[in-house]
Every structure is written in C-alpha cells, then in structure tokens.
Structure 1
C-alpha cells in the first residue's frame, strides 16, 4: 500500500486538455499548488512517446515527493523508471503486472463493481481507483456512473487506499472524502483550466473547516 495522503488530489493527465501549456508545465503548476500524485495517461501515444513524457515529468517532479504512475503501459513505466503503473480490469492481470514491476513500485487498479473490489489482492495492489462517480467525456468507454452512494459501498468493501474518479470537480471533493475515499482523481477540473494553481487550490478550499 501507499500512504493514503498521496491520493488526496490525484491528477490524471490529458494531452488534449493540456495542449495550451503542455502536460509537463500543467503538472508542474498543479503540483506546486497541491496535487499529491500524478498519473500519465495518453491513450494515443506510442510507448516510446510515453517513456519520453514520463521522463520529462519525473524531472519536473524531482524533489516534490509526488509519485508518478503510468496508465496502462508497463513497458513505459519500467523504461522511464516511473514510481509505478495503473491498470484497468481489461489490461494485464495484477499478478502479472506486479511480477514485471517488482515489489518496490506502486500498482493501482481500476474497479467499477463490488466483485472487482473484493477480488483485488492487497498483496499485489497498492490502491484502487473507484468509479466512475459521474459520467465523463475524458473516458468514452466508462461504465455506468455509481454516484456517491455507490462510491461509499465500494470503499466499504476494501481495506486498500482508494481514490474516486469520474467527472469530479472541486465542489465534489468534500463528498468524496465523506464517502470514505482517500481522495479525488481529476482530469478536466485541472487540465486545461485557465489558471491551474487556482483550480488546484479550490479542491483544498472546499474541505477547509
């Protein structure tokens, strides 16, 4: 497992939304404003392109303590020496991914149903991505939204750290945490926003006492 506070505000990159300032600069500004973990997701890139971007992100994150994981591409995660990888249910198995990554790397797994949450092996997986809470345009093939009640039900089925994903905005962050998840994974709520720092800080302002 990883420290739960790493999942508090988890940024998933989108190259299209980040086009104006670039993925690396978007991530740098977001991390400076409080993002606690970064997932490199680029469905259209080749493995060599993901390796190059992951290396650039690692350089930008150096000294911040913020982990970088690569989505759905173990080859890129390993070649770039990222902190780990994130896989879905239709990708390589968690056992095979762990065997390739080694024991010292982070492995995240997406789960949309009670069955997949209960099947997740805490000996292999470090955290679960749960959702989608809402529908989202950044992932066209997502399952039906589960809402906050569904999120709470999934969280209750596991002892693993969890991060909620799917259409989440700053105004949802307090309810995500109230559902028992350790944090929110966001894409468009930060990527492509006119002011990255302000968009990032808004998540923390939503949960101030």
Structure 2
C-alpha cells in the first residue's frame, strides 16, 4: 500500500513537505493508532511544536507529530494532530508503551496534556520550574532554576557564559575550549583496578 493510500485509509489529510506527513483529527487518533499497530508500525517519536509564531497559519496553536516506522516494510510516516492551548489528546500508551516517556516529554516542554496517560508528569525539567520551555511565550533564560541535584542556573551568569563574557556555567570564555587535552604523560592504567582521576 502506498503512503497516500495509507493516509486515505487512516482518514488523514496529507500536508505539503518533504516528509510523508498528514494531518489527523484528534478524534481519529486512537483508530489510526490501532490500525497502524496491527500493520506492524512502531511509535518512534512524539514531538510537540508551538506554531503560534509560525509564518504559515496552522489549524491550531500546537501540533503534536507522531513518527511511525514499520521495520518489515521500511516504511515511515508522520501523523500530526493539532490542539489549542488547554485542549488534550488521547494517550497512545495502550498501543505502545514507549508513549509513556514520549508524551511526558511533550507535556513537559510544550504543555500538551494526554488523556488517560498513566504517569503524566515532568520528565526533563525540574519539578518547580513553572511553565513549558518550548512554548514561544516562555521567557527565555529569565527564570532562576534550582535542580534536584543542587545545581542552580542564574540567568545573568548563564547568558554571560553563552556570550563568552565570563566563565558563567559553561566555563567557556570564547576562543578555543580548554577542556581535556590528550596527553602523552598520562599515568599508567592497570586493568581491573579502579583509578581516581
């Protein structure tokens, strides 16, 4: 079955572009997932995109793109469901367990919720970080952030480190980086013995 025929079977509308991408109404997402699962497709990735500042007008603010791949046929296709802020999508966890982490990542970074998800909580950002950093209205680099492991990001120091004005968090001051250099005078390493360096 060709990709256009597959999109038609799923009730999806092809979108222009270089990838086999089609828009799917969120009400048909579970039906399409079941069909793809029975055909041997794997869920490879889920990506959330904030289209609020995008040049072309999109059907809604957020697009959630699902990347499916069939190992047997080497066929890949992408389905995208659009939602407005505050709307949610059904979880695909009952079809692919990988959706657990992938949907959590979209929730954490963009803020799209997934109905009936077994564990919808932040996965990449600190628990106390307010907002979702990949939204276009998120204030870039302006929130002091304390991570669970004790690291602290101070916005002015972070920006200074990025521009090379000071060491900041990165330790980089511009020019060639002064990280680990390969040396000839390394101490000998004995197999099976733990060495502190």
TM > 0.5 = no
Whose strand fraction is larger, Structure 1's or Structure 2's? 2
Q: Calculate the TM-score normalised by the size of structure 1.
A: 0.26
Whose helix fraction is larger, Structure 1's or Structure 2's? 1
Larger RCO of the pair (alpha carbons < 8 Å, separation 6+): 1
